[in-house]
Amino acid sequence: MKHLLVTGGAGFIGSHLVEALLTAGNRVTVVDDESTGRFANLERPSLVQAKKSDQLKIVRGSIGDLELVQKCLTDVDEVYHLAAAVGVALIASQPRQTIERNIYPTQILLDELCAQHQQGKPVKFFLASTSEVYGKNPKPVWNEDDDLVFGATTKPRWSYGASKAIDEFLTLACSRQFGLPVVIARFFNVVGPRQTGAYGMVLPRFVEAAVAGRSLTVHDDGNQTRCFAHVSDVVRAILGLMDSPDAIGRVFNIGSDRPISILQLAERVIALAGSKSQVDFQSYRDAYDADFEDIRRRVPDLTRIRTTIGWQAQLTLDDIIRDCLAAR
Ligand code: UDP
């Protein structure tokens, strides 16, 4: 039985990942400070037995705490580093915390892992990164070797992508310099049950509004596009990458490559919910702040993950919306 550490394991993606890792027969330790995650995400019938038998251990704390990190890393085989500041609304309102929470803990973890590696104890490291690292690259489809094109430093949104890009640079530096086995995944708009709309994410907000019969608020003209992937498909991709020797030392896009406009998304949610809700439009200035700059189009090239582990998303957008509606 492998022992795995999942940082941010009480979060939306983290909690789904923890369930899958336990189902695969691993022992899992979760570290989370509940800044955006909820331990309630791990209070599921399927996890009761794992908790009782110590197959699942939950530690409340920050991975910015060096002592805690050292304790948690004493006998692990793999680290899944998902703890990070998330959500455009949160980032716009707390750019200072975003930068610190994304960079400092990653550095602490990697320093410890490199030290262990040099003592002959190789621990595999998974970094959860984001499509935000591409910034506003104008290419219609983004592949992993494309340039990162951020906006001005006066626009706080870019602090998120830039700080996650630093995480990637750090991770790859540890791989090159010290031979640490690492895998980096860039998530593209992952959605599904347990995701909260509190930090700005569009689908849970639309689902909540449609079910309540309230208006769905579409930012700007709604012609900006995104590709949405179900968290269960994404978790399957993470497991596949961490199982593959061919993935080591590399960066992968994970997501769907089928774009939909935000206005069309709103209409689809209303239709599938059987709701009478209307659509309202709101400027970015009113939704975030005057300096807000959006990404108009975001589509991943998925060739690398397809050719490396044969992965592709299985669930369609309609499946995803139905699942989010059913999980409420
Ligand atoms: N958005 C929206 N209404 C909302 C929340 C978000 O129209 O209530 C828009 C947002 O401006 C962006 C898109 O939906 O253009 C996706 O936003 P989200 O925060 O989910 O993800 P990201 O911007 O990180 O892709």
Task: Render pLDDT for 219-256 as a digit per residue (tens, 0 to 9).
Answer: 999 999 999 999 999 999 999 999 999 999 999 999 99
Please tell me which residue, 200 or 267, carries the higher pLDDT value.
267
Task: Please indicate, yes or no, if residue 52 is contained in any of the structural domains.
Answer: yes
Task: Please indicate, yes or no, if residue 277 is contained in any of the structural domains.
Answer: no
Residues above pLDDT 70, as percent of the chain:
100
Task: Please indicate, yes or no, if residue 178 is contained in any of the structural domains.
Answer: yes
The alpha carbon of 165 and the centre of ligand 1 are apart by a number of angstroms equal to 21
Mapped onto helix, strand or coil, the DSSP state of residue 303 is: helix
pTM: 0.97
**Rounded average pLDDT over 207-225:** 97
Query: CA 179 to CA 120: how far, in whole Å?
Result: 11
158 in Cβ contact with 133 (< 8 Å): no
User: pLDDT-based confidence at 78, cuts 50/70/90?
Assistant: very high
Q: What does the pLDDT read at residue 91?
A: 82
Query: CA 326 to CA 167: how far, in whole Å?
Result: 36
Pocket of ligand 1 (CB under 6 A): 88, 189, 200-202, 205, 217-219, 224, 226, 262, 294
Whether the predicted interface score ipTM is above 0.90 = yes
User: pLDDT-based confidence at 48, cuts 50/70/90?
Assistant: confident
The alpha carbon of 229 and the centre of ligand 1 are apart by a number of angstroms equal to 15
The alpha carbon of 270 and the centre of ligand 1 are apart by a number of angstroms equal to 17
Nearest to 8 by CA among 74, 76, 85, 66: 85
Q: Which residue has its alpha carbon closest to ligand 1 atom 23? A: 88
Query: Whole-number mean pLDDT of the chain?
Result: 95
Name the domain count of the chain.
1
Q: 213, exposed or middle or buried, with CB in 10 Å at 0-12, 13-18, 19+?
A: exposed
Mapped onto helix, strand or coil, the DSSP state of residue 65 is: coil
The domain that contains 183 carries what CATH number?
A: 3.40.50.720
Task: Please indicate, yes or no, if residue 209 is contained in any of the structural domains.
Answer: no
Task: Please indicate, yes or no, if residue 291 is contained in any of the structural domains.
Answer: no
Choosing from 191, 202, 256, 299 the residue with most ligand 1 atoms within 8 A of its CB, the one to mutate for a pocket test is 202
Please tell me which residue, 51 or 276, carries the higher pLDDT value.
276
160 classed as catalytic: yes
**Rounded average pLDDT over 82-101:** 87
Residues pairing with 29 in the sheet? 5, 57
13 in Cβ contact with 187 (< 8 Å): yes
Task: Please indicate, yes or no, if residue 275 is contained in any of the structural domains.
Answer: no
Task: Please indicate, yes or no, if residue 307 is contained in any of the structural domains.
Answer: yes
Question: Dihedral through CA 279, CA 285, CA 289, CA 291, nearest 10?
Answer: 130
Task: Please indicate, yes or no, if residue 235 is contained in any of the structural domains.
Answer: yes
Q: What does the pLDDT read at residue 92?
A: 79
Residue ranges making up the domain that contains 79: 3-191+230-256+300-313
Task: Render pLDDT for 312-324 as a digit per residue (tens, 0 to 9).
Answer: 999 999 999 999 9
**Rounded average pLDDT over 139-152:** 97
